[in-house]
Amino acid sequence: MTVNCVWEHNGNDTLLYADRFAGAYARGESLEEAMAKMPREIASFLRWRGEAVPEEISVEITEEKESDLKICDADSDVLFESEKEPLTAEEYEILKALALKSARDFLCLYHSVPDKNATAHPPRETFYGSVPRSAEEMYLHTKNVNAYYFGEIGVGADNDGDIYACRKRGFDALETTPDYLSNAVVAGSYGEVWSLRKVLRRFIWHDRIHARAMYRMAVKVFGADAVENPFCF
C-alpha cells in the first residue's frame, strides 16, 4: 500500500498527514523522521477502523505546505487540495461515523484512567497556553474545540455534555444547513481557511493527538493493564 501524504512544515519541524486516512498523522523534527513513523500510524489507524493491515506500507509526499506556525506544538492550518472537493452523502456518512467513533473511543479511554487528575508531565507552555497534563485537562481541552470547529464553517454548536454528545449535536445542526455536502471553502478565524472535509479530518486528528498523549501518560503512571486502548496505539 502506498499512502499519499501532505507535508506541513516550518523549517525542519514536520507534520505529515495521510491524505485519504482522515486524521492519521505523524510528527517529527524532520521529514525523514515523520515518514519513518507513518507506516506504524497507518497500521494503528487501520486496526482502529477494524480493517486488515497490509504487509508493506510506503509513503509518498503529494502536497507541501510551508508554514510560519509552531509545527513542533502541532499548530496547523493546512487545507488539503482534496479537502476542497464536494462530498457525496456516502462519503459524509463514513467520515461522520469515524468522527463520532473517535469521540466515543476518546470518552472510553478517559473513563478508564483510574485517577483523572494524575500526571507524569511537568508544566509546559505552547501557542495556545498551558499543555494539558492530566486526563481531565486533556479531555476538557479536546472536547472544548467542538463549538470552535463547527463555528469555523458557520454551524452553531456548543461544548455542553460529554465529547460524544456535543459532537453529535453539532452534526445534527450541520445537517439542517442547505447544501452542506457542497463542502464550501470558507475563511474562518485567524486567517485560516476551512471546509467541512477539513473539520471532519481535524476532529479525528485532534482526538488522536490527545488520546495518544493521554494513553502514554496513563500507562506511565498506572501501567498498561490499567488503561483501555480503544485507538490501538
- Among 22, 45, 78, residue at a domain's last position: 78
Examine the domain organization and report whether 33 and 125 are in the same domain. no
For position 59, which CATH number holds?
3.30.2390
Whether the Cβ atoms of residue 204 and residue 102 lie closer than 8 Å to each other: yes
Tell me, yes or no, whether 32 lies in a domain: yes
Of the pLDDT bands very low, low, confident and very high (cuts 50, 70, 90), residue 122 is confident
Of the pLDDT bands very low, low, confident and very high (cuts 50, 70, 90), residue 121 is confident
- C-alpha dist (Å) from residue 7 to 14, 63, 81, 106: 7, 6, 12, 26
> Which of these, 141, 103, 142, 133, lies nearest to 115 by C-alpha position?
133
Name the percent of the chain lying above pLDDT 90. 92
pTM of the entire structure? 0.95
Render pLDDT for 18-56 as a digit per residue (tens, 0 to 9).
999 999 999 999 999 999 999 999 999 999 999 999 999
- Among 78, 107, 133, residue at a domain's last position: 78
Tell me, yes or no, whether 50 lies in a domain: yes
Residue 120 has pLDDT above 90, yes or no: no
Name the percent of the chain lying above pLDDT 70. 98
Residue 109 has pLDDT above 70, yes or no: yes
For position 142, which CATH number holds?
1.20.120
Examine the domain organization and report whether 179 and 211 are in the same domain. yes
Name residue, grid cell 445542526: 173
Residue 125 has pLDDT above 70, yes or no: no
Q: Tell me the C-alpha distance between 207 and 140, whole Å.
A: 11
Examine the domain organization and report whether 95 and 205 are in the same domain. yes
8-state DSSP, 157: -
Examine the domain organization and report whether 203 and 114 are in the same domain. yes
Q: Tell me the C-alpha distance between 223 and 114, whole Å.
A: 11
Of the pLDDT bands very low, low, confident and very high (cuts 50, 70, 90), residue 130 is confident
Tell me, yes or no, whether 233 lies in a domain: no
Examine the domain organization and report whether 49 and 22 are in the same domain. yes
Name residue, grid cell 485519504: 20
pLDDT at 22: 98
pLDDT at 129: 66
**Single-letter amino acid code for the residue at 33:** E
Render pLDDT for 138-192 as a digit per residue (tens, 0 to 9).
999 999 999 999 999 999 999 999 999 999 999 999 999 999 999 999 999 989 9
Of the pLDDT bands very low, low, confident and very high (cuts 50, 70, 90), residue 135 is very high
Examine the domain organization and report whether 193 and 117 are in the same domain. yes
Of the pLDDT bands very low, low, confident and very high (cuts 50, 70, 90), residue 127 is low
Examine the domain organization and report whether 207 and 139 are in the same domain. yes
Whether the Cβ atoms of residue 132 and residue 141 lie closer than 8 Å to each other: yes
- Among 50, 78, 106, residue at a domain's last position: 78
What are the residue ranges of helices labelled H in 133-195?
A: 135-143, 146-151, 163-174
pLDDT at 36: 98
Examine the domain organization and report whether 73 and 163 are in the same domain. no
Tell me, yes or no, whether 165 lies in a domain: yes
Domain count, the chain: 2
Q: Which domain holds residue 160?
A: 83-226
Number of alpha carbons in the 13 Å side-chain half-sphere of residue 203: 31
Examine the domain organization and report whether 115 and 183 are in the same domain. yes
